[in-house]
Amino acid sequence: MFGFNTIAALAAVATSPAVYAVSSQAYIWKNVKIGGGGGFVPGIVFNPTEKGLAYARTDIGGAYKLNTDDDSWSPLLDFADDARWNYWGVDALATDPVQPARLYLATGMYTNSWDPNNGQILISTDYGKTFTSSQLPFKVGGNMPGRGMGERLAVDPNSNGILFFGARSGKGLWKSTNFGVTWTQVTSFPSTGTYIPDASDTNGYDSDKVGIAWVTFDKASGTSGSATPRIFVGVANKGWSNIFVTTNGGTSWTPVAGQNTTYLPHKGVLSPSEKALYVSYSDGAGPYDGTLGAVYRYDITASTWKDITPVTGEDLYFGFGGVAIDLQKPGTIMVAALNSWWPDGQIFRSTDSGTTWSPFWAWGVYPALNKHYSYSNSLAPWLGPNYVDTTAGNKQIGWMMESLVIDPLDSNHWLYGTGATIQGGRDLLKWDTAHNVSLKSLADGIEETAIQGLISPPSGPSLLSAVGDIGGFVHTSLTTAPKTSFINPTWATSADIDFAGNKPTNIVRIGTGDSTTGKQVALSSDSGATWAQHYGAADNVSGGKVALSADGKTVLWRTGSNGVQVSSNQATFTGVSTLPSSAVIAADKKSDTVFYGASGSSFYLSTDSGQTFSVKGSLDSSQYPVKIVVNPGVTGDVWVSTDKGLFHSTNSGTSFTAIPGVTQAWAIALGAPAKAGGYPALFAAANIGGIGYFRSDDAGVNWVKINDAAHGFGSASANVLTADPRIYGRVYIGTNGRGTFYGDANGSAPPTATATSSATSSAPSSSSTTKTRTSTSTSTSANPTGTAPGGAYSQCGGQGWTGPTTCVTGYTCAYSNPFYSQCIPS
């Protein structure tokens, strides 16, 4: 999964030192259930000595531990907060075969400028209940190309204090001899990797070296208590050696003779009883590419390679990713097509070391497929039909299948990760007899979605979500998975969603250009149960943010690349020249003709259904407004969050009051009041003496902090909020990788402490916490003198950006969010 708010975490904070006293209120936090999955699961690892112990890693949603009693998963990194948001990018995982309670995670989100932080190895000695961090002197890329290759991190099975880690970006191979506490580079290792997915990519995402792909110990080559002599390491190289071996524990290394150098080695899995190394290859690093590949078996004793690729000729149109061996049944191996996009994913199984293979599906009478499984999506019904779909083109088996494992202590138990979920079953041995196994979605607990928008209307379903990669949902229940995602039209990603204040069953949502139709606006009059295209939208205009007027007659759309547009009564959208293309927008919830906008320090008002806007008031020295929310019962009562704090107006923006103590604010929301007839509860992801999540019951005079040490919610600036207008205290937090959480107050609120500056505040009470944060703000610079225009798809703006702000011919600098703009085709 790609992070949809990648730069947002780099937002600046307070402009000067401040100390604030804010009380904390206990909250109960739970995931809004979609049944598990929603994104790419690049790695699943079983412990070889403790039965049922398994972990999964995701690219932007952290790591999870398997619960063997019900096959569900428990998240391990929900404590990651704004300062540790890149912990949710897990690039490698290792479970200790000697002391199974030990767990290691290599974390970091990006190796390019999107993430300014170096990576780290997270170390746990209690099965992931707690972690300590070992900082690395380079970046780690859990959401970079090649993130399904691996595992890059491995524990020596004979001397478990020794670990090896393969880095990206040309940083090479690293070793620890003290259980991951410190690391040194293995300077004798001969290759740091040469493969770059796209050297022309100017933003660094596809132009970085994929690096070391995997580390595999040959336990049988050594003895318990001493370092394992023989270790194989796979490297992302094409055209020359890409698998290296040491026979002296890493002192010296040589290329394995006779190896395939045409493709990239994705996985290297050792079968100890056979003394064989199985390697899957693809011509791309994945997870999206890969059109050719191979599978090889290396006989360690004879030092010979054998091509055991399951298919050839026109049947080979994909690379290979996941490889699994059955430790209980020597010679049993399974491999997965990395990217068989049509007619479905594919998995092959062999019980004779790859001499012969049987497939998961085969062609019947075209276009029907013969699929050798029964199927259940009962845990996540939105994945598709709850039966075996033999229609070509419906990827029920999956795609992006880099993780494929067989429980080393249970031959019937198998799992594999896809681009959307984890699947598998517990009767795998039937493959070899009846050739028909039970396949089931098994990602319950892995809520791995990037939430783009949330609404909680005053009637109908309590929550609707706009979601990256899987469209979005009507959540009629918070504890039961939805039966379907948004359909007709169907978009992989919904960019935003809004409801009409006076007619809340009327909903609008927008897509990002990834549907079968070019029109990216959809309307519903029945709370999202059914949808219709907005035919007034131009083809190939997409993304951005949307606001629906109070009676549902007018759609105001800040598009991703074509400025702000408006349509009333489903007429053709027309441009709104009086509102900047980067403006934050909102509709009044009472008056059908009133819309609001904010850009820079200016606040805009429209009283003619969004046709024209005029500057109404000022947001002090703000440069980056983030969100406008409107009191659902009072026209003109608006709140605006910005890089300089939180602002409130009761006169449609003519004047604003800066809320004391709030030095920066991102997502904000208004919910049910504490008392009937009272002012709505105000929620904010903000910096109020420290970055966190807060609630005020008196319009920002007093605040309580509502998140705790176990719930950091990742990057505050990347998340979205909405509050429930029917349940006091309930708030929904949509994260960039861990799905949506809902929180309810646990008991009565503590005595409130007014957020005031350090110059005037008194010492906190025993029920309060005091935090200090010092930082500086940054700003978008003008195009530096002499700087060439940005290249195709490169960054061209955003908070702190000092590079080019214009684009090469044929490309336009399109605003994405306050922290990132990109050169896209004009």
What SS3 string covers 632-694? CCCCCCEEEEECCEEEEECCCCCCCEECCCCCEEEEEEEECCCCCCCCCEEEEEEECCCEEEE
The DSSP string of 604-625 is EEESSTTS--EEEEE-TT-S-E
DSSP-assigned beta bridge partners for residue 693? 685
pLDDT in tens, 532-580: 999 999 998 999 999 999 999 999 999 999 999 999 999 999 999 999 9
Q: Which of 59, 91, 407, 498 is catalytic?
A: 59
Residue 254: per-residue pLDDT: 98
The full set of domain ranges for the chain reads: 16-31+659-770
pLDDT in tens, 226-255: 999 999 999 999 999 999 999 999 999 999
pLDDT at residue 5 is higher than 50: no
Q: Which of 78, 469, 592, 724 is catalytic?
A: 469
460: left (phi over 0), alpha (psi -120 to 50) or beta: left
CA–CA gap between residue 547 and residue 587 (Å, rounded): 5
Q: How confident is the model at residue 283 (pLDDT cuts 50, 70, 90)?
A: very high
698 is catalytic: no
CA–CA gap between residue 405 and residue 323 (Å, rounded): 7
Closest CA to 281 of 311, 324, 321, 310: 321
59 is catalytic: yes
Instruction: Determine contact, residues 777/794, Cβ cutoff 8 Å.
Output: no
Residue 673: per-residue pLDDT: 98
Residue 703: per-residue pLDDT: 97
Model pTM score? 0.90
Instruction: Determine contact, residues 32/744, Cβ cutoff 8 Å.
Output: no
CA–CA gap between residue 452 and residue 468 (Å, rounded): 7
DSSP SS3 for 432 = helix
The DSSP string of 496-535 is EEEE-SSSTT-EEEEE-S-SSSS--EEEESSTTSS-EE-T
What value does the mean pLDDT take over residues 696-715? 97
Token pair of 103, please?
């767990």
Superfamily name with CATH number, domain 16-31+659-770: YVTN repeat-like/Quinoprotein amine dehydrogenase (2.130.10.10)
Residue 822: per-residue pLDDT: 65
The DSSP string of 736-798 is BSS-EEEEEE-SSPPPPEE---TTTPPPP-TTEEEEEE------PPPPPTTPPPB-TT-EEE-
What value does the mean pLDDT of the chain take? 91
Closest CA to 740 of 727, 721, 717: 721
Residue 776: per-residue pLDDT: 27
Tell me the one-letter amino acid at 65: K
pLDDT at residue 155 is higher than 80: yes
The DSSP string of 137-159 is SS---TTSTTTTS---EEE-SSS
43: left (phi over 0), alpha (psi -120 to 50) or beta: beta
pLDDT in tens, 499-524: 999 999 999 999 998 765 689 999 99
What value does the mean pLDDT take over residues 704-731? 98
pLDDT in tens, 17-33: 344 668 999 999 999 99
pLDDT at residue 781 is higher than 90: no
Annotate 303-326 with three-state secondary structure. Answer: CEEEECCCCCHHHCCCCEEEEEEC
DSSP-assigned beta bridge partners for residue 150? none
Q: How confident is the model at residue 585 (pLDDT cuts 50, 70, 90)?
A: very high
Residue 794: per-residue pLDDT: 62
pLDDT at residue 432 is higher than 80: yes
pLDDT at residue 766 is higher than 50: no
Instruction: Determine contact, residues 442/422, Cβ cutoff 8 Å.
Output: yes
What value does the mean pLDDT take over residues 283-310? 97
Closest CA to 474 of 440, 516, 520, 509: 509
Residue with tokens 């708010």: 5
Q: How confident is the model at residue 256 (pLDDT cuts 50, 70, 90)?
A: very high
Return phi, psi of residue 379, to 5°: -75, -25
The DSSP string of 44-67 is EEE-SSSTT-EEEE-SSS-EEEEE
pLDDT at residue 705 is higher than 80: yes
Return phi, psi of residue 336, to 5°: -120, 140
Per-residue CA distances from 120 to 86, 233, 485, 574, 820 (Å): 10, 21, 36, 49, 25
Residue 765: per-residue pLDDT: 29
Return phi, psi of residue 780, to 5°: -75, 125
Instruction: Determine contact, residues 566/611, Cβ cutoff 8 Å.
Output: yes
DSSP secondary structure letter of residue 571: P
By CB atoms closer than 10 A (0-12, 13-18, 19+), residue 316 is middle
Residue 780: per-residue pLDDT: 28
Residue 742: per-residue pLDDT: 98
Residue 321: per-residue pLDDT: 98
Residue 516: per-residue pLDDT: 59
Check residues 797 and 523 and name the one with the higher pLDDT: 523
By CB atoms closer than 10 A (0-12, 13-18, 19+), residue 535 is exposed
Buried b (16+ CB within 10 A) or exposed e, 768-788: beebebeeebbebeebeeeee
Residue 806: per-residue pLDDT: 74
Q: For residue 766, what are the contacts with CB-CB under 8 A and spacing of at least 6? A: none
Q: For residue 169, what are the contacts with CB-CB under 8 A and spacing of at least 6? A: 111, 138, 139, 141, 208, 209, 211
Residue 504: per-residue pLDDT: 98
